[in-house]
Amino acid sequence: MQQSGGDIVCRLEHVDKVYEGAVPTPALLDINLQVQRGEFLVVLGASGSGKTTLLNIIGLLDTPTSGKVWIAERNAEQMDEEERAALRSRYMGFVFQFHYLLPEFTVLENALLPCKIAGKQVEEQNRELVKELLHRVGLGDRLNYRPSQLSGGQQQRVAIVRALANNPELVLADEPTGNLDSKNGFAVFEMMRFMNRQTGTAFVVVTHDERLAQEADRVVVLEDGRIVKDMLQRPAQTHEL
Ligand SMILES: Nc1ncnc2c1ncn2[C@@H]1O[C@H](COP(=O)(O)OP(=O)(O)OP(=O)(O)O)[C@@H](O)[C@H]1O
Ligand SMILES: [Mg+2]
């Protein structure tokens, strides 16, 4: 279910992250970032620049050392673990470099997993949405296949549909095309762009591929934990399903 929450899906203010250890490692420094509803934002940056750390903080999988995080206009600091988990599962979707599909489940079952995790039984409404999304990404005739019977690009498309299964406001994707050749990578990226335009779900996509960045509404470049560029390429479009 989409939740109301204004036009800002996430906001970071003066966020620092230092990984503690024998030698403390600074990973993010004074990050100020706001993601609008329906926006398609690409995060570029060299290895070690803090991209995954940033997604983990937005995704409420990690907490900043200092600074403030708002998701759905709620202050993350004031949420307990249960609220964070609920917001993660209802408001956000995640796509990783390796798709982590469950081999013993079919395409349809895999894509429906977030609905199961969100509690209750899978509602007919979600099942229909997921089937429709699978059709739109060209997998309508593969609903009962197992992941091992699909190509790498097809598997990643299932993972993208899975991220959209709960009709989230925000999808966080960490190098979703990093494991694919350039042709399949581009097709998967185009799929996310298409889904963003169709559903109005905001996307934050981490990539190393500058070619893909040209397709984004906005590009943020990280260097040694700092935002060194924040370029608006075109205004976000919002279309509800
Ligand atoms: N759990 C951790 N403990 C200590 N340091 C960490 C931890 N995770 C990341 N770091 C450090 O924080 C910095 C940023 O790491 P991060 O994983 O966010 O980079 P990244 O931009 O995602 O890199 P890549 O493109 O290689 O995935 C790096 O210097 C890394 O060594
Ligand atoms: Mg990373």
What pLDDT, in 10s, does the model give residues 119-137? 667 778 889 989 998 998 8
| Mean pLDDT within 93-109 | 91
- Burial class from Cβ neighbours inside 10 Å (0-12, 13-18, 19+) for residue 217 reads buried
Instruction: Tell me: pLDDT of 150 over 90.
Output: yes
Assigned CATH for 38-61+79-232: 3.40.50.300
Instruction: Tell me: pLDDT of 5 over 70.
Output: no
Whose C-alpha lies nearest to ligand 1, atom 25?
47
Say yes or no: CB of residue 19 within 6 Å of ligand 1.
yes
Q: Select from 139, 84, 93, 100 the least CA-distant residue to 114.
A: 93
Whose C-alpha lies nearest to ligand 1, atom 17?
52
| Mean pLDDT within 150-177 | 93
Q: How confident is the model at residue 103 (pLDDT cuts 50, 70, 90)?
A: very high
Whose C-alpha lies nearest to ligand 1, atom 31?
48
Q: How confident is the model at residue 34 (pLDDT cuts 50, 70, 90)?
A: very high
Q: How confident is the model at residue 111 (pLDDT cuts 50, 70, 90)?
A: very high
Q: Select from 116, 20, 112, 125 the least CA-distant residue to 65.
A: 20
CB neighbour list of residue 195: distance below 8 Å, 6 or more residues apart: 133, 136, 160, 164, 201, 203
- Choose which residue among 15, 17, 18, 19 to substitute to test ligand 1 binding: the one with the highest number of ligand atoms within 8 A of its C-beta: 19
Instruction: Tell me: pLDDT of 219 over 80.
Output: yes
- Choose which residue among 42, 43, 52, 206 to substitute to test ligand 1 binding: the one with the highest number of ligand atoms within 8 A of its C-beta: 52
Mean confidence (pLDDT) of the chain: 90
Query: pLDDT at position 64, please?
Result: 98
Whose C-alpha lies nearest to ligand 1, atom 6?
19
Query: pLDDT at position 233, please?
Result: 87
| Mean pLDDT within 87-107 | 91
Query: pLDDT at position 1, please?
Result: 41
Q: What share of the chain has pLDDT > 70, as a percent?
A: 94
The number of the ligand nearest the C-alpha atom of 96 reads 2
Instruction: Tell me: pLDDT of 101 over 90.
Output: yes
- Cα(214) to ligand 1 centroid in Å equals 25
| Mean pLDDT within 97-121 | 86
- Cα(86) to ligand 2 centroid in Å equals 24
Report in angstroms the alpha-carbon separations of 224 from 3, 47, 84, 144, 220: 35, 9, 28, 44, 13
Whose C-alpha lies nearest to ligand 1, atom 11?
27
**DSSP-derived pairing of the beta strands 8-19 and 66-71:** antiparallel
Instruction: Tell me: pLDDT of 200 over 70.
Output: yes
Q: Which long-range CB contacts under 8 A does 225-228 form with residues at least 24 apart?
A: 225/17, 225/26, 225/27, 225/28, 225/29, 225/31, 225/49, 225/50, 225/53, 226/28, 226/29, 226/30, 226/31, 227/31, 227/32, 227/33
Secondary element (H or E) of residue 74? strand 74-75
Say yes or no: CB of residue 194 within 6 Å of ligand 1.
no
- Return the minimum-mean-pLDDT range out of 36-45, 47-56, 84-93, 94-103: 94-103
Q: How many CA atoms lie within 13 A of 90 on its CB side?
A: 15
- Return the minimum-mean-pLDDT range out of 14-18, 47-51, 86-90: 86-90
Query: pLDDT at position 3, please?
Result: 44
Residue 172 and residue 203: Cα distance in Å, rounded?
A: 6
Instruction: Tell me: pLDDT of 74 over 50.
Output: yes
- Residue 82 CA, distance from chain mean position: 20
Say yes or no: CB of residue 21 within 6 Å of ligand 1.
yes
| Mean pLDDT within 47-57 | 96
